[in-house]
Structure 1
Amino acid sequence: MEVLNNNTWTPRSGEKTGNPESLSSLAPAFSSFFKTVCANQAALRPAISTDDAVCRTIPGDASWPNRYDWAALNATVNGRLIATVPIAAPCHNSFTGQGYPNKPLSTYNEDQCAALRNSWYLPETQMASSSAPMSYTQSNNSCNPWLDPDTPCTIGGLAVYAIDAASLTHIQAGLAFARVHNIRIVIRNSGHDYMGKSTGAHSLALWTHNLNSLQLISSYAGPGTTAGTSYTGPAIKIGAGVHGHDAYAFASTHNLVVISGNCPTVGIAGGYSQGGGHGPLASLHGLGADQVLSWEVILAGGTLVTADSTTHPDLYWALRGGGGGTYGVVVSMTVKAHPDSYASTAFITVLDNGTNTDAIYSAIGSFMSTLPSIVDAGIYALFLATPQGFFVTPAFAHGKHQAELDALLQPTVQELEKLGLAYSYASIEFPTFLAAYEALPLLWNVSQHNTGGRLIPRDLLTTNPAGLLSAIRNVGSQTLFSGVAFNVSHSVSSPDENAVNPYFRESIFNVFLGVPIDYFNWTANLATMDHITNELLPPLEALTPNGAAYMNEADPQQSDFKEVFFGAHYPRLLQIKDKYDPHGMFYAVTAVGSDRWAEQSDGRLCRV
């Protein structure tokens, strides 16, 4: 890891940056020439700035930048402009995209296609690209690696170009270019995004993947997480592209821990923390959004600001749980770091043999009745109900010995024995958080599923446990049901301290369900999404009227997203959005203010 010094960022060594093939002959050495040409070109053709545009410009419009404009931008960002070619292009005979308007590319390569198919479901395959969506549905099936090579490969819903940002000036240049040419902007980090925020048709993406610096602040003394208070203690400054595992590892070298998610490749400073962010330490220290002491943000106008509880406190509040991709481009955040300790994990497996399903769901009901005591002890528990059985995988206890964790799970084990269910139970203690985290198994690949979600309030465990169990069985008998249990009610002074939906503080677990993507039948895949919206989620929604969902793990088709994702905070968030982005440069699906825009049938983004 590189250390952030004087706002200078260094990309990960060995990672590739992109000179688009169509621009490679227009080298940065000709930068001045092309800037002059572009100025002359702009004077001769229409231009619509983002300030007064009803619709964003798309390829084919007279105001769409020509190749000289793009070449000048490429020179300005030191050759880091990438013209999108979908990563599945080697599985197709040819590709034609807006970044390559004059010649279709001959792209088929049997060996490359085979290698891609073998690694397609790994997050690393998608996140290494500046354009590939982790959730394939967001590509609109435009370049499917599993179809016949003669099937056209097109750009679909992907960004046309991306800037592989290695400095703040690269982001500022991209924003300035988009403002002048009225181009849709997308902010992309790791691509861990079920909702479609990090991609967009006819857009320019600002790819923050390589802003990956980490800096230890041994004794931070500055504004705290609540106005009028201060925080004194260790902190870590985290670049926008830092992955969760990288942050965990860096903190561990200083005998500290930070808050991040379960998946090691999630971008911690991106939509994860900006959208709330739960993880293995949530029951001890709260959500990712609760940890942030300050943000460095580039606003729509290109200005770099620091937002904390005393400087731009409204922006600071909004970024802590009010959603990513909508207020500005976060380039770093500084977060609290907590003392490390030993940690224990435990796993339960009960397989469904076709005759024991009723007993399994009885055991799940018993397990859920123990969740308050588990999470109140600072433990984070992930459990699954699927057609294959019931799994706790894992219960994660930082600062708890193995025997302490075993005792908390003993009632569930006893219930399994009472019901005569065959099961396996395993627990282990580790010397550090990182050792425990790195020993966790990879359960499933997130990029294989269409998704939906709902937050479950704590009181439902006592007011209607049978109804809750029935709704869980409705999902688990058909597909993947996961519940992530936590207690984050004690980690803030009040539910209004930051922009996280206040319903999170009342919740005991987050439901996250997934139905596999059908790569061979796009119509069936779309029907799967409707099945989640119209059949799997409604029983859970009926149990939680006026309820909520975690915006990062939810149904992209959630019609009442303003209430469900943001709750009572939405009106204030919209005011802050309008203050810092008055012309609506930052659009993201289901983000604050997104209902003012709509995608047309051709992908064009227009005001409504």
Structure 2
Amino acid sequence: MIGMFASFSGLSFLLAWLIGSPPANTEPQCRCLYGDPCWPDEDTFAHLTQQLSVPLIHPRPLAHPCYTDPDCPACVAVHARWDEGTWRAEHSGATQHPNFETFINPSGNVDACYANSSVGDSCGQGSVPIIGVEARTVADVQAAVTFAAEHNLKLVIKNTGHDFLGRSSGRGSFMLWTHHMKDIAVHEKFVPLGSPPEGESYEFALTIGAGVQWHEAYTAADNSGRMMIGGISPGGSVGAAGGWLLGGGHSALSPSYGLGVDNVIQISLVTSMGDHLTTNAYSHADLFWALRGGGGGTFGVVTSVTYRTYPIVPVFLASMSVTSNRSEPVKAAFTELVRITTSLTDSGWGGYVQFSPVGDTCGFSFGTLVPNVSWEEANRTILPYFDYVKSLATTSNLAQGTLKLEGGFTTQWPSFWSLYKHLMPNTGQVGRNLELGSWLLPQKALDGDYEHVANVLMENQGLSYELIAGGAVSKVDPLSTGLNPAWRKAVVHAVFGITWPDGTSAEDIQRLRDSMGSRLRSVRALAPESGAYLNEASMFEPDSRHAFFGEHYDQLRAVKRKYDPIDLFVVAEGVGADEWDEELRCRV
């Protein structure tokens, strides 16, 4: 038998580790990739197929049909629906941003399958795994995990492909696709497994399968007269039971209700030993702690998650956009926003400020919401800022530049979900080459020299200034979850990125990365002791342990050793990843 268990069974390995005497490291030091002599043959894969509920999948890059017949319906759909997140999620070989389907060879050649077939002369497999399991049941997940472990394969776990670290793809790897695990159950009264008689129970908790996306979870909750704290993306295409949650999970509602990790009650998963475990405050509590912020694809394969829900309440939306032909009035408007940010999040306001230069103008759009307050309370906290910006527009002159203001008012919506459906169409944001850099800014940074903060942030084109921390997030004990403690001091998530057209050379992509690295250093210097949001951050953080996990890293690594003693689950920037080479193939 080829693989990790050829000379040492997984069970005996685990027992030896747990009693404190790890066995001699006799497994291969490198994962087996497609094309290697160790890669399983057709008969071996055929045997795996017999254990599954559906046949094996053979993922291909999303644009592949356009290289066989540009006029076929599949290629027409590629061009018509390229920026539709829910549609991309339905394809095993697609990522939400196509640069993660490509692969840059050591020689500098880009192996890709571009939507515009005239850019490249062929459709390469890139970083898309060559074969995999489409999981429909827990047994499918167990079979896939056991197979990957037995044959020492590099395993990629994928749901929707919303991932900015490239964890949903991997050249020559074996894929486990959880997207079609769509079970949803509403519990009028939920009692966590192992809870004592006096333990807490939860009304109308929602249990969702690994493949459920937020638009499906929100709809199920709304149909039950409840609301949830979840992700925001066009069409609600982000997975609700995967990387979003395991990395922390922020929302515009977080200043009022906390992060995703603060609202999860129970998580079930399959470990590298093939065991299906249920984790919560009473069962495998150490693993439950680590899963809440320790990162996706690190400790096991999540099969289901149970969330608390809340009564539906009205939501107020405050929105405004400002533009100018000069930067000074825009900077003044943004500086004032930085100054009042902490007071806004402490009052429950959460939302997003997007900078988007257009032609010779600069400016930003401001959209933030607050749930379950009165008209008077909503206006008391937000109208002074709108009045300030309106005064800038009134007093600006030609020397300062003309400030144009649109919006600057609040509206009431019956629920968060009704507002979400109105604001977030099913297209946009995805389907373009994009890499991110980000940093969490704590209260002491914003409440200090806020003019300096505003100046540094505005130097970063495409900035998103996100009010998704502070408030309720800051009131949670930093030790209660595996989430980076920097989150509990943060008020703002500052994120920006680089983009490039298809066909860009590896050298030009690297120049863009270098430029973003320089910009990120200036933002990081605003609060060097802080950290970054694991799900939306640079793939090249110089100190990933500190940036993503802070002082929790050592404890997270110990939990991983306990539940994944063979290091089957290794992902970019994840716990234990720095013990592997750059390709996450060989131990170092």
Label 1:216 to 1:314 Cα distance change in 2 as closer, same or farther (>3 A): same
Matched, 1:371 2:341: yes
Deviations 1:517-571 (A, max 9, x none): 32131332332222212x2211111111122011111111112111001001000
Matches within 5 A, 1:183-222: 183-222=153-192
Higher mean C-alpha deviation, range 368-377 or range 229-238: 229-238
Asked whether 1:585 is paired with 2:571, we answer no
The one-letter code of the counterpart of 2:421 is E
Counterpart for residue 23 of structure 2: none
- Paired residue type of 1:582: P
Number of aligned residue pairs: 543
What residue in structure 1 maps to residue 298 of structure 2?
326
Aligned position for 1:175? 145
- Which structure carries more relative contact order (alpha carbon 8 Å, separation 6+)? 2
Question: Does the residue aligned with 2:307 lie in a helix, a strand or coil?
Answer: strand
> 1:316 Cα deviation (Å)?
0.4
CA change 1:399–1:461 in 2 (3 A) is same
Give, as a single letter, the amino acid of the residue that structure 1 aligns with 2:143. A
Alpha-carbon distance between aligned partners in 1 of 2:313 and 2:321, rounded to the nearest angstrom: 27
Give me the whole-angstrom Cα distance separating, in 1, the residues matched to 2:112 and 2:79.
Answer: 16
- How far 1:79 sits from its partner (Å)? 3.4
Which residue of structure 1 lines up, in the alignment, with residue 398 of structure 2? none
Change (3 A) 1:455 1:447: farther
What is the CA distance between 1:230 and its match in structure 2?
A: 2.9
Letter of the structure 2 residue corresponding to residue 520 of structure 1:
G
1:413 maps to which of 386, 393, 398: 386
User: C-alpha distance in 2, partners of 1:323/1:528?
Assistant: 27
Residues 250 and 260 in structure 2, CA contact (< 8 A), matched pair in contact too: yes
1:597 offset after TM fit, Å? Answer: 1.2
The runs of 4+ residues in structure 1 deviating greater than 6 Å are 46-51, 223-226
The residue type equivalent to 1:472 in the other structure is L
Give the aligned partner of residue 462 of structure 1.
447
Identical positions, percent: 28
- Asked if 1 retains the 8 angstrom alpha-carbon contact of 2:119 and 2:503, the reply is no
Pairwise CA RMSD: 2.5
Return the letter of the residue paired with 1:265: S
CA distance in 1, matches of 2:443, 2:120: 53
Match of 2:505 in 1: 522
Q: Which residue of 1 is the match for residue 241 of structure 2?
A: 269
Any gaps of 5 or more consecutive residues in structure 1? Answer: 1-41, 93-105
1:560-575 to 2 correspondence within 5 Å?
560-575=543-558
CA distance in 1 between partners of 2:384 and 2:534 (Å): 33
1:86 counterpart = 2:48? no
Superposition map of 1:180-329 within 5 A: 180-222=150-192, 230-263=200-233, 264-329=236-301
What is the CA–CA distance in structure 2 between the aligned matches of 1:248 and 1:401, rounded to whole Å? 24
Give 1:221 deviation, angstroms. 3.3
Aligned AA for 1:235? Answer: A
Counterpart in the other structure of 1:103: none
Kindly provide the CA deviation profile for residues 147-166 of structure 1, in whole angstroms up to 9, marking residues without a partner as x: 42762222121111121111
Is contact 1:123-1:446 (8 Å) kept? yes
Q: Distance in 2 between matches of 1:121 and 1:270?
A: 22
Please tell me the residue identity of whatever aligns with 1:467: H
TM-score normalised by L of structure 2: 0.87
What is the CA distance between 1:323 and its match in structure 2?
0.5
Once the 2 structures are TM-superposed, how far is the Cα of residue 373 of structure 1 from its aligned partner? 2.1
Contact 1:501-1:567 within 8 A present in 2 as well: yes
Does the CA contact (< 8 Å) of 1:165 and 1:210 recur in 2? yes
Question: 2:334, 2:185 → 1: CA distance?
Answer: 43
Shift of residue 502, structure 1, vs aligned partner: 0.7
- 1:38-72 superposed Cα distances (whole Å, 9 cap, x missing partner): xxxx69xx978897121111233222111122222
Gaps of 5+ in 2: 11-25, 104-110, 394-402
54 and 324 in structure 1: CA distance in 2 versus 1, 3 angstrom threshold? same
Structure-2 separation of matches of 1:69 and 1:223: 37
Q: Deviations over 1:213-272 (max 9, x none)?
A: 11111122347999x963443311111111112111111122211111111111111011
| Match of residue 27 from structure 1 | none
Deviations 1:585-608 (A, max 9, x none): 0111111001111245xxx71111
Scaled by the length of structure 1, what TM-score is found? 0.84
Q: Which residue pairs with 1:102 in the alignment? A: none
Q: 1:427 to 1:323 in 2, by over 3 A?
A: same
From the superposition, tell whether residues 435 and 419 of structure 1 become closer, same or farther in structure 2 (CA, over 3 Å): same
Q: CA–CA distance in 2 between the matches of 1:551 and 1:179?
A: 26
C-alpha distance in structure 2 between counterparts of 1:517 and 1:117, whole Å? 18
Q: Distance in 2 between matches of 1:308 and 1:543?
A: 37
Establish whether residue 358 from structure 1 lines up as the match of residue 358 from structure 2: no
Indicate the residue corresponding to 1:121 in structure 2.
83
2:96 aligned to which of 122, 125, 134 = 134
Q: Counterpart of 1:429 in 2: which secondary structure?
A: strand
Change (3 A) 1:433 1:149: closer
- Decide which of 29, 49, 64 is 1:54's aligned counterpart: 29
Compute the displacement of 1:385 (Å).
Answer: 2.2
How has the CA–CA distance of structure 1 residues 320 and 224 changed in structure 2, closer, same or farther, with 3 Å as cutoff?
A: farther
Worse overlay, 489-498 or 331-340 = 489-498
Residue 20 of structure 2 is matched in structure 1 by none
CA contact 2:189–2:201 (8 Å) conserved in 1: no
Residue number among 534, 537, 559 corresponding to 1:551 in the alignment: 534
Distance 1:312 1:394 in 2: 40
1:607 counterpart residue number: 587
Q: Is the 8 A contact 2:156 2:176 kept in 1?
A: yes
